[in-house]
């Protein structure tokens, strides 16, 4: 049985990797995927200026958790860091694996 | 003309790369993309414990093929392996390239 | 406040990286993400035959810009190159960062 969930994708400079992973864990997500990427963003900052490659972090959560994650990411980092984030609707088989225990 | 298709994304330990690619081919998909990723999943297994990096495999197919692929992946590997998968609706230009011949 | 936008994902041989980035800029996109990937496509060309890894380029734009980008990519490259592209609906916080100034 498929469950409708939300994928949160966050792309940031590599220095934010650990804080973002901690943020994901605080929101009860059960897993995440990291990909090394390069990028150029709306702040006009190129990957090569960031002293390293960027990281794309993806986690699949409930729609409510996705909104909460995005809001906290935004208020914590959007002002001062080159970070972007977006939500995508996804369908997951055995979706219960992705949901916080107790929720 | 755009066609509505389904993207199947599978993230697994690297040892499942060949079996998953074989599974994709058996279902008649005409292509796939592989990305090396790291991850931490619901089984509490960290990427570093898996003896290597993980792999994200993506293929775009018809909605029916997507369901069949996901079902077979689930029954073959979800029990014993650290593998997750999800479906995303996508729009493709020249979508006929992605459909199994004869279907 | 979330804004509904469209993610354009393009996967091609690495030699098309610069032309595709130029195409993205011409259409006024404010950023993009590049990931090194491997792939096998409908043209029956394997990554290893392409003299290098492939590249996945993603950019988030308005639905209208997404269609225009896809059309131009198609007419410029689909005939002669191993390139595929697809669109995904996404929700973005502070979506105005992704929109072309003046549009």
Subunits that touch chain C (at least 3 Cβ pairs < 8 angstroms)?
Answer: A, B
Cβ-defined contact of B92 to C71 (cutoff 8 Å): no
Q: Is residue A97 part of a domain?
A: no
Q: By C-alpha distance, which of A9, A4, A91, A6 is closest to A58?
A: A9
Which CATH number do you get for residue C64? 3.30.70.120
Residues in CB range of C6: below 8 A, 6 or more apart: C60, C61, C62, C63, C65, C66, C87, C88, C89, C90
- Is the predicted ipTM greater than 0.90, yes or no? no
Check: CB of residue A17 under 8 Å from CB of residue C39.
no
Cβ-based contacts of A42 with chain C (< 8 Å): 30-31, 97-98
Residues in CB range of A16: below 8 A, 6 or more apart: A55, A77, A81, A83
> Which residues form the domain of B77?
2-89
Q: Residues of chain A whose C-beta is under 8 A from some C-beta in C?
A: 11, 35-42, 54, 56, 70-71, 74, 78, 84-89
Q: Is residue A96 part of a domain?
A: no
Q: Is residue B97 part of a domain?
A: no
What would the pLDDT profile of A18-39 be if each residue is shown by its tens digit? 999 999 999 999 889 999 898 7
Q: Is residue A66 part of a domain?
A: yes
Cβ-defined contact of C86 to B92 (cutoff 8 Å): yes
Across all residues in chain B, what is the average pLDDT? 84
pLDDT recorded at residue A12 = 92
Q: Is residue B100 part of a domain?
A: no
Give the gap in angstroms from C-alpha C41 to the nearest C-alpha of chain B.
4
Q: Is residue A57 part of a domain?
A: yes
pTM of this structure:
0.89
Q: Which H helix or E strand runs over A89?
A: strand A83-93
Q: What's the structural domain count of chain B?
A: 1
Mutation target among A21, A37, A93 for the B interface, most CBs of B within 10 A: A93
Q: Is residue A99 part of a domain?
A: no
Cβ-based contacts of C88 with chain B (< 8 Å): 7, 88-91
What would the pLDDT profile of A34-63 be if each residue is shown by its tens digit? 998 987 765 555 544 444 579 999 999 999
pLDDT recorded at residue B43 = 54
Q: Residues of chain C whose C-beta is under 8 A from some C-beta in A?
A: 2, 5, 7, 30-35, 60, 88-94, 97-98
Q: Got the DSSP string for C6-69? A: EEEEEEEEGGGHHHHHHHHHHTT---EEEEEEEEE-TT--BGGGGTS-EEEEEEEE-HHHHHHH
Cβ-defined contact of A39 to C60 (cutoff 8 Å): no
Q: Is residue C39 part of a domain?
A: yes
| Lowest-pLDDT range of B53-57, C72-76, C78-82 | C78-82
Q: Is C93 helix (H, G, I), strand (E, B) or coil?
A: strand
Cβ-defined contact of A37 to C32 (cutoff 8 Å): no
Residues in chain C: 103
Burial of A40 (0-12, 13-18, 19+ CB in 10 A): buried
């Amino acid at each position: 049985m498929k469950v409708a969930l939300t994928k949160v994708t966050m792309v940031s400079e590599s220095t934010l990797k650990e804080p973002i992973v901690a943020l994901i864990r605080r929101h009860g997500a059960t897993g995440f995927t990291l990909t090394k990427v390069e990028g150029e963003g709306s702040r006009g900052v190129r990957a090569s200026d960031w002293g390293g490659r960027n990281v794309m972090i993806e986690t699949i959560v409930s729609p409510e958790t996705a909104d909460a994650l995005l809001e906290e990411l935004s208020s914590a980092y959007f002002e001062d860091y080159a970070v972007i984030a977006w939500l995508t609707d996804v369908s997951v088989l055995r979706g219960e694996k992705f949901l916080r225990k107790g929720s």
